[in-house]
Amino acid sequence: MPVKQGIRILAIDDSSFRKSDKEALVVGVVGRPNVVEGVLSFRVKVDGSDATEKLVSKVVHSRFSDQIKLVAIHGVTLAGLNMVDIIKASRELGIPVVSIVRRKPHGKDLEKAIRAKGVGSAKRLALLSRLNSKLKIERANGFYVQRSGISKNEFLGLQRGAVELLRLAHLIANGVATGESSGRM
């Protein structure tokens, strides 16, 4: 499916949380470059396994569901080790889903954290392995990206808008959760 410039993007990031928290806030910003059209939020379990299902459900039941043409997530985990299966999310939503991070992901560090967690580690490791075997981590204009359902060239045309909206989602999530926003995505 060709993706046009100016489409509506949903950018997702989680808030700060403590390891003792049961859930963490996730904020999504819907918009186009330089235009914010809405904000979505939901909660996922800290170190849980409900991120993919909650994300898909939130998009499907949103008033923006037929307008969103790309989902951009800050990384493949929310609320600690709650992994988002971006391949499954893209397939179920019928739209591209991308993971964008500023620093190069260190798969071995994530694997180590998953193993240390213990509970659910086999499923998380299998998902991480599947994502990394099917979706190459690529460098794109200063960021690292994993893409599902969109070509690199199509994504490059939308990257700036996706990153702007991710930054805004990050600021809103942390501002709401802690009372004040801080940091870069």
The residue to which tokens 């993919």 are assigned: 52
pLDDT(101) > 70: yes
Query: What pTM value is reported for the model?
Result: 0.91
pLDDT at 182 over 80: no
Q: For domain 8-104+137-178, give the fold.
A: archaeoglobus fulgidus dsm 4304 fold (3.30.2170)
What value does the mean pLDDT take over residues 3-7? 66
Write out pLDDT tens, residues 112-164: 888 887 777 889 889 988 998 899 899 999 999 999 999 999 999 999 999 99
Identify the CA nearest to 55 among candidates 125, 148, 178, 137.
148
Over residues 34-50, the pLDDT tens digits come to 899 999 999 999 999 99
Residue 47 near residue 82 (C-beta atoms within 8 A): yes
Give the start-to-end residue ranges of the domains of the chain: 8-104+137-178
End-to-end CA distance of the chain: 29
